[in-house]
Amino acid sequence: MDPCAFVRLTVDQLLLKLPAVPRPSSGAGVHPSTSPCFCTLSLQDHPSSLSRTALLPLASSAGHADPVVLCLDAEAVRRLSSRPAELVVSVHAGRQTGTNCGISAARALGRVRVPVDVARAAAGEAVVARDGWVDVGGKPAGSAASSAGVRAQIHMVVRAEPDPRYVFQFGGEPECGPVVYQVPGGAAGGGQRQPVFTCRFSAGRRAARSRSLTPQSSMTRSTSRRLRSWLSGTLHGEARDGAHHSSRREQRKGWTVTIHDLSGSPVAAASMVTPFVPSPGSGRVSRANPGSWLILQATGAGPSSWKPWARLEAWRERGPVDALGYRLELVFDSGPHECTVPIAESSISTKRGGQFVIDPATFPEAAAGAAWPFAGGFVMGSTVEGEGRASRPTVQVGVQHVTCMGDVAVFVALSAAVDLCMDACKLFSQRLRKELCQDQDE
């Protein structure tokens, strides 16, 4: 397989050193020495989707900022490799968000431009673009710091590193049984997509009891029992759901996506093991009662041999903006007890969509030093469209996490499950598309 050239831009060790500026006699306005400071980071002439905001602790304090990561995809790398690229860091004092009568509460202190050699990083060389203190230039005319002839300084370590990834695209919506293609890499990036998998979807209860999704004989007996319980829909859900919801139309269950290689053999699957049901008195799936999927991987011992790989939970977040909340855990066989390791938890706007990501840089538990089961950085990412939009997920997988096509298949199955969660968590006052309901009345 030919990976696509991605570049990972990391900005670390952010600190701000402020000059001694007399406080105005009135005491009004934003004063940098007492107000919180932050910075925005973006690439010049690049889409705002890559812009990031980070807290900027003062050098005199004991605080520190988390690393900021910007990912350049293959198209951005090609565009920026042909001309100089600059990272623009804009420094502000005051609150990060909110305006008053159209005027931002934050005051600009200045900005720093850091040249970044994207071409060298894309060619496989780690590049340190900046390491140390630098003056914050571009003071607003008439500011106290400008009139005094002094400048603030910002400390940063800016690294550009190669981050090659395999890229795959669904040829259609996962519930429509599409072909999954690999997007070719290479310098030109203009080759033809190659089919690598087919995707089959079932919305019926029978899917969760299919013979093709039975546990492998080499599993421990306890793991085999747990897997059969999951796939029969009795681990959390059908008895519980029946107690609260007598109507079949008030639950979304039994959905299964199976990923097949080009020979027709199943290599991975995602099976809905906990139905998605509305919480009592509401029309939404709540965080307290999420639906869940089991992601399964074929073991290579035959078409009917599977092992659990991960469990995905999803719900609909409450708040000013509707969002799909999710949590992903790896599942391990540890004898009589289940062992799980959380690897992702976040939310995606139900209106705009977004991206599902497994990456230690974006997961608080990994950043806090918890055990991370993957070697290396970025693991995978998948696009997710908002409600009502046709979705053809694009899946990215870090090359260091792929040893065979079976490794890719579980990420493709996971991507399909995440995409279908947007439908499963749809408000129950809204009807699902016919492809998602075809077997429910059997």
310, 369: one domain: yes
214 within a domain of the structure (yes/no): no
322, 380: one domain: yes
173, 54: one domain: no
Say if residues 252 and 291 touch (Cβ distance below 8 Å).
yes
24 within a domain of the structure (yes/no): no
156, 192: one domain: no
**pLDDT for res 149:** 46
Which DSSP state fits 278? P
158, 191: one domain: no
Q: Which residue has the tokens 């997710």?
A: 384
194, 341: one domain: yes
112, 195: one domain: no
Say if residues 425 and 314 touch (Cβ distance below 8 Å).
yes
Could you give the C-alpha distances from 226 to 88, 406, 438, in angstroms and in order?
52, 23, 28
**pLDDT for res 327:** 97
30 within a domain of the structure (yes/no): no
236 within a domain of the structure (yes/no): no
111, 169: one domain: no
**pLDDT for res 218:** 43
Which residue range(s) make up the domain with 415? 165-205+251-436
CA distance 247 to 244: 9
347, 407: one domain: yes
**pLDDT for res 372:** 80
> Where does 27-120 show beta strands of DSSP type E?
37-43, 52-55, 68-72, 85-93, 99-100, 103-104, 107-116
283 within a domain of the structure (yes/no): yes
Q: Which residue has the tokens 């079932």?
A: 202
Query: Going residue by residue through the chain (442 aa), what tens digit of pLDDT does each one get?
Result: 789 999 999 999 999 998 865 555 554 444 455 568 999 999 987 766 678 999 999 988 877 788 899 999 988 898 888 888 999 999 998 876 654 444 456 788 899 999 999 999 999 999 999 999 999 974 444 444 444 446 789 999 999 999 999 999 999 999 999 999 999 885 445 578 999 999 999 986 544 444 345 544 444 555 555 566 655 543 444 444 444 443 445 679 999 999 999 999 999 999 999 999 999 888 899 999 999 999 999 986 555 589 999 999 999 998 888 999 999 999 987 666 678 899 999 999 999 999 999 998 888 666 555 678 888 789 999 999 999 899 999 999 999 999 999 999 999 999 999 999 999 999 998 888 888 875 544 4
157, 186: one domain: no
**pLDDT for res 190:** 57
325 within a domain of the structure (yes/no): yes
215 within a domain of the structure (yes/no): no
**pLDDT for res 143:** 47
193, 128: one domain: no
**pLDDT for res 239:** 40
**pLDDT for res 216:** 45
Number of domains in the chain: 2
**pLDDT for res 339:** 85
145 within a domain of the structure (yes/no): no
**Residue 365, phi then psi, degrees to nearest 5:** -60, -40
12, 122: one domain: yes
For residue 69, give the CATH number of its domain: 2.60.40
CA-nearest of 234, 225, 316, 315 to 273 is 234
